[in-house]
A and B are shown apart, each in its own frame.
Chain A
Amino acid sequence: MNPRAYRRFKSHVMVGLMGVAVLVAVLPLLAILVSLTLKGASSLSLAFFTNTPVPAGETGGGVLHAIVGTLMIVGIASLIGVPIGIGAGIYCAEYPASRLAGITRFVSDVLNGTPSIVVGVFVWTVVVAQQKHFSAFAGSIALAILMIPMVTRTTEELIKLVPVSLREAALALGYPRWRTSLTIVLRTALPGIVTGALLSVARAAGETAPLLFTALGSQYLSFNPDQPMAALPLVVFTYASGPYEEWHQLAWATALVLILVVFLLSVAARLATRQRFSSNG
């Protein structure tokens, strides 16, 4: 084989190997989506989105209570967790050498690796046990605790990616430091920060363990965050571990709804933060 053909051969082999790696990485995701759709879609109907559950044995019924519950629990969690996480991330990026930033980074990394069920038990101890009843709000606190370290770390990393030259250009124009941070640096990093925050929201929306000890779940449509509330992952958990075949069907359908909700959330947030101008006006 001449050298040129040999080099080409090596190149093709390597590209082929990388293609295999991509396939292996994407395959589980596709498999999940396909099986969810195959098994869940047949149970989906308009009524599934607009009704609350019916007693076991009857057919019909839906997961409206859990859709509302997930939106409320995750919504409140995001209201708590995203601003705190972004604030902490800005602090760590602006004062990188400070002691507090070092501690924040360390605690965030530890918390990121903490199993979510531990957070659930913790919130059960400090909130649920004190109040003596389960509540959606306690669930939101548990999810917020999971979101904060993720948001903090991604915010810090993305702010650090904004070139120093941009910060200096703003300062040289007479921008005060707070304004430089907020209107130039944070704005520039914003699309990435939104993506990071969304990832944490999506992760929170899919968490089951921390909600078992806090929001508990419920069969009824409720808008009161001080009461137990249903959530999609809890419904999946209940139905999937139940004894009835119809329940298993509902679990598949609910899982599909959960994926849809997360997907719609990310599309909405992307639309809200997309750049306002095109490249040529």
Chain B
Amino acid sequence: MFENSGLSMDQAPPIVVVLRFFLTGSIFGIVASFMLFFYGKSVTNFSSAQALALTHTLTLGVMASFMFGALYQMLPVLCGVAIKEPETLALRVNYALILGTIFLSISFFTANLILYILAALSLAYALFTSSYVMIKKLKTISHSSSSRGMLLSLISLVFVAILGLLLLSLRGGFNINIDYLALKSAHFSFGLFGWIALLIISVSFQVIEMFYVTPPYNKRYANYLPQIIITLLFINLFSAIFAPAILNIVEYIIILLVALHAGLTLIKLKQKKRAVTDATILFWAFGMSSYILFAFFYTLSQFITIPTTIVVTLFAYFALSIVFAMSYKIVPFLVWFHLNAKGYFEVPMMHEIAHPKYARVNLYFFITSFILLILANFITIFWQIGSISLLISFFMLFFILYSAIKKYFHILNTGKRFEFNMPKI
């Protein structure tokens, strides 16, 4: 409860903190699309430098940028956690993440020790600093299911980073007595299901009900699901090292639990009270459907041969879809809200910042790229056509972010202001 408690806009980070991360993420999305265009079929070999570079451009460059931006925004607003000097910290983390992603992606091709070290240092700074500050803050609050899930997701990120750095050390030639494949599997599980899926689940607990006026998730379910997933991830980590035989079973339970949540979210979206369906709801629905298909094809792949690229593409589109959904929902709101909070008269309406029709066209390009990239497993030329469609999707997102920033600063520099507590005549 708040009662004139000194709560102020200082609680929320400056808008540039969030938009800078989002802009970075969309630029890396454009870069990843170009990589996919030029690498084509070679990304289907997951040990190839091309596949590793593309995977890390997507997970670090795109996903981590958007997720950090969203966390800097959501922690104060949803959890009441204020990060000290967010602008300085976010700027440093942003630069370190950009450099780390570039160094790492290049290092897969060159196997250059200096690049490995530079990548390790930059990424360690970006991931550990942000995680440490956020975890420290989140440990002090009384938790909602959403904030608890975010905390566990950040803990997973720390493990992803530690395991990733160990893998990098092995690639760099350092002799560590750890099984490379077990390490890789644990890095993969903590990254996909701990960091990415758990964060999406935690965010969904809060935003699905709030944004779309759906029935809330069951409280006990929302409280325990993230805890069960993180516990299973640790069991998974130990079984990767000590009991590889049960590794697949534990991982499969995690996959099914996330699929359960995806199904439940689809049901909630179907139960929303408003009849209007905008592009952000469709992005959420598409993302959740993509995850269910991922779980289905993963299961199927245990019995029949299915191109692994299909399974990976389904997971990637699950995560990216939520990125688009959240960006189209958050960015117009942030511009509108921050200008209102600063007391400007002529604030553009949210649909003037990102028109719903524009978002819908973006959704169509995004879905088209998904279909084409799935088909690319059978018809090679679709790698290129699909990546062009993905490129357009990310470019559209970049353009909306860029024009939102431009509009924001234009009004900030030229607009007239009012005071809420101006005396009334």
A in complex with B: no
Query: Measuring CB to CB, which residues of chain A are less than 8 angstroms from any residue of chain B?
Result: none
Q: Give me the interface of B with A, judged by CB distance under 8 Å.
A: none
